[in-house]
Amino acid sequence: MSTLTLVCPSCNVLNRIPAERLADKPLCGKCKALLFQGKVLELNGRNVDSVLRNTGIPLLVDCWAPWCGPCQGFAPIFAQAARELEPRLRLAKVDTEAEPQIASLWGIRSIPTLILFREGREISRTSGAMPLQQLKRWLLEQGV
């Protein structure tokens, strides 16, 4: 039986969950919140390292900015993807204006940029907003 580590989206505590129980609506051991809430996780300087290191499923991050029109248009599509694709993968976003050190570390040159991580390592990225079906196709091409 393999066990995965997940960061609670409510309290940021690490939780170990049997892989075969991901679809059973697991709860955080500390705060009892659902570990999969169908919502996009907000990344910042305080939680980004822990989330990257301790997300046992693929992690898709939307790098965006509040002034970016295409980013604003893509936000509801990304939110819908979170509702439909969890627990297969975790979706998160980082505001590149509020977190310029993360944007710099990841080499963000244009927004929106989507970065797919597996086991804390970047495995793919793409730039630009896209419809939900195209996003799902891109994820399948990446093996997710």
Set 8, 28, 63, 71: catalytic member: 71
For 36, how many CA atoms within 13 A lie in the half-sphere containing its CB? 23
Cβ-based neighbour number of residue 130 at 10 Å: 18
**Residue 19 three-state SS:** helix
User: In which order are the strands placed within the sheet that holds 90-95?
Assistant: 41-42, 90-95, 59-64, 113-118, 121-127
Note if 31 is an active site residue.
no
DSSP single-letter state for residue 97: T
Residues constituting the chain: 144
User: Kind of pairing, strands 41-42 and 3-7?
Assistant: unpaired
Note if 71 is an active site residue.
yes
Kind and range of the H or E run holding 91: strand 90-95
Set 8, 28, 63, 68: catalytic member: 68
**Residue 110 three-state SS:** coil
Q: Which residues participate in catalysis according to the annotation?
A: 68, 71
